[in-house]
Structure formats: C-alpha cells, structure tokens
Structure 1
Amino acid sequence: MGNLRTLVLNADMQPLSWAPLSVWSWQQALVAVLQDRVVQLKTYDDVLIHSSRDAFEVPAVVALKRYRKRKKVSFTRYHVFLRDEFTCQYCGERFAAGDLTFDHVLPKSRSGHSRWDNIVTACGPDNLRKANRTPREAGMKLLRQPFEPTPRQLDAAARRLPSAKTELHKTWMDFLYWGSELEG
C-alpha cells in the first residue's frame, strides 16, 4: 500500500507535468478527494482504506477542478539533463544521470554564467577534454546550442525516455497518451 501513487491531471485532463510526472501519494490524493478539490477518475482495484465508520477506495487518477497554468521551467540539473535527453552534447551518447555533468559552454572562469543558454549535458571524459576552453578552442562541436525549454518541450523529452512507459502504473495508461499518435 505504501508505494501506491496517484496520477494528478490538470482540469484539461493532461498531466500537470511529465518532467517529472505529476503524482501524489495516495494519502494526499484521498484527502483532496474528501475535501472536494479534485475529481476522482479512477481507483485502484480491490484496495480499500477503512476508517472506524467508512471504507474508501484509493484514488489511482484524479483531476484538479480548477485549471492550473504551467509556469516556466525551473533551472535544475534534472531539467538540463532532460532537455538534452540524458545525452552528451559533444559525443552524442546517452548516459545515466550519475554519469553526466554540466558543462559551461563559455567557462565560468571566463565570465560564463550558469543559466539555460550556457549549460549543456556532457559526459565526464568530454567535460575533461573540453576543460577551461570553448568548444571551438577544444576542437569540439555541440550537437545543438543550449536553450531554455518550455514545459511542453520538457514533457515531450520525458515521454521519449526509454523508461517512460515501464514506470507507469497500468491504471494510468488511458490518461497519459491522449494527443499522441497510436503505436502500431
């Protein structure tokens, strides 16, 4: 029971976020249902919570009653790696997050700032090879220039991750792939 989570959709029936996927603990979701802040769309089969007088189904999917506008993407290590799809922007290989680093395109020692348009994902060897130089000075080429992603761009990148479908509970599937092409 402790590992059950509840998928949270916006009022438009789309996930609040794919990056990371918008989920609550089942306890948070049940409280929101009881406070009438969300609509319960789906429950877990054969899972009930009992109080002294009542039994409650555990929410698997809920939707907010009020639409919540998505804000700008926060500048975090995870979001940079996700924007770059966990791929070194120099060699093009995909890595686990633990094997990746940030690289300042214009090095910090040369007035390069830690912000979206100056940070890329790099593997350790390429980051060391580039060192305190620009890509041009190091004889390296970026796969693409760094940019500030929109929430939609990060969501699309999250859906393309190899683990995206394997980590989703089966009760959520009917709610997650609307608006995308059906697979053949």
Structure 2
Amino acid sequence: MFNSPESCPALVLNADYRPLSYYPLSLWSWQDAIKAVFLERVNILAEYDRAVRSPTFEMRLPSVISLKSYVAPARRPAFTRFNVFLRDNFSCQYCGATEELTFDHVIPRSRGGVTSWDNVVAACAPCNLEKGGRFCTDAKMYPRAWPMMPSVHQLQENGRRFPPNYLHESWHDFLYWDSELEP
C-alpha cells in the first residue's frame, strides 16, 4: 500500500485526544513518532499495515498517537500572515477571491494605521492595489468582516474547514470530519 515509511505520517493528538492543530494538521514523521514511543511520551492509538524492521526488532508504524502529557494551547493566537488568512478563511475580505492573497491595512499605515489583528484583513492583490492607501469610505471598499483578534478556538474551527489532501482512514474517528451525528 505504501512505498516508503516517509508516506506514513502519524496524526498527533493531545492528551485529551484532540489534534494539536487542525490547520496545518498536527503530523509527525514516522521517525519522530517511533522515537516518542520509545521515550514513552505517547500512546499508540492506531497503526499502519506497514512495519519497520531491524535484525532483532519489528514495529508497525503508528498512524495515530496521543501525548501522555497535556499541552495547553496558547491563550492568544500569534499574529502571523498565515493566521490572518486562516481567520479570514483564505479569502479576500473585499471581493471573496481566494487567489493572490496578501493583506491590507483597513486604516492605511500612511494614515496612522497599525499592523495588528484589529486593522489587517486578507485581500487579493487586485483589491489591495485598488484600495491603495485610502480609507474604506474614500475607496468605497469595505471588508466583509471587520478585523478583530480571533480566539484560538475560532482559528481551530476555521482550520477544520480545510482538510489536508490526504487523510488516512485511521484518522477519521479522531478528526470528526466524516462522522455522522446521531439523531
């Protein structure tokens, strides 16, 4: 099924069995997962059919692991370009485009605006160029959602909307993306 161990990442869950992050999905290489198993830092919850071997040892590669010690999530999300895009669902806040994303200062820096959660939105390059250094009222361009600092929970929820290209079947029960809700 898999040609090499490199194609067998392990989904990493916190001690409460929730992914450390959804986007990007918290994955470890097979080497890091096995090292953590030997150091007794994780529990193996599911395995691949693929195994690694030495002359005296064989082990199936972990596909889902959970940390033995709980890692508290950050209280405040880091202000990064990626997190701004994630907050804004990877779409321009002026036209909705998803290509050529950059970010725009709602109150332009040239007019005293600061680079912060409360003043920066995702914008496509054409909208950013069109708005330029003008106020929203002057450009007649208003963001679909006014910028604000999201909670870590909001970023996690937004990240769940963007599943990675590859999801191993053993991960589904831990990600809740494909589980049916009972009536």
Q: Same fold (TM over 0.5)?
A: yes
Q: Work out the CA distance in 1 between the residues paired with 2:60 and 2:37.
A: 10
Does residue 1:59 correspond to 2:62, yes or no? yes
Paired residues for 1:103-182 under 5 Å = 103-161=104-162, 164=163, 166-177=165-176, 182=181
Conserved? CA contact 2:47–2:61, under 8 Å: yes
Conserved? CA contact 2:25–2:164, under 8 Å: no
Q: What is the deviation of 1:107?
A: 1.1
Aligned pairs, how many? 177
**Stretch of structure 1 that moved more, 105-114 or 117-126:** 105-114
Residue 42 of structure 1 corresponds to: 46
Q: Work out the CA distance in 1 between the residues paired with 2:59 and 2:161.
A: 35
TM-score, length basis structure 2 = 0.90
Choose from 5, 8, 33 the match for 2:37. 33
Which consecutive residues of structure 2, in runs of 5 or more, have no partner in the other structure? none
Q: Work out the CA distance in 2 between the residues paired with 1:52 and 1:75.
A: 49
1:113-147: CA deviation from partner (whole Å, max 9, x where unpaired):
21111110001111011000111111111101111
**Stretch of structure 1 that moved more, 105-114 or 52-61:** 105-114
Which consecutive residues of structure 1, in runs of 5 or more, have no partner in the other structure? none
CA RMSD of aligned residues (A): 1.9
Choose from 6, 9, 19 the match for 1:2. 6
Q: Work out the CA distance in 1 between the residues paired with 2:53 and 2:164.
A: 32
Q: Work out the CA distance in 2 between the residues paired with 1:79 and 1:85.
A: 9
Q: What is the deviation of 1:159?
A: 1.4
4+ long deviations beyond 3 Å: 180-184
Letter in 2 for 1:139: K
Q: What is the deviation of 1:3?
A: 2.6
* Identical-pair percentage: 48
Residue 78 of structure 1 corresponds to: 82
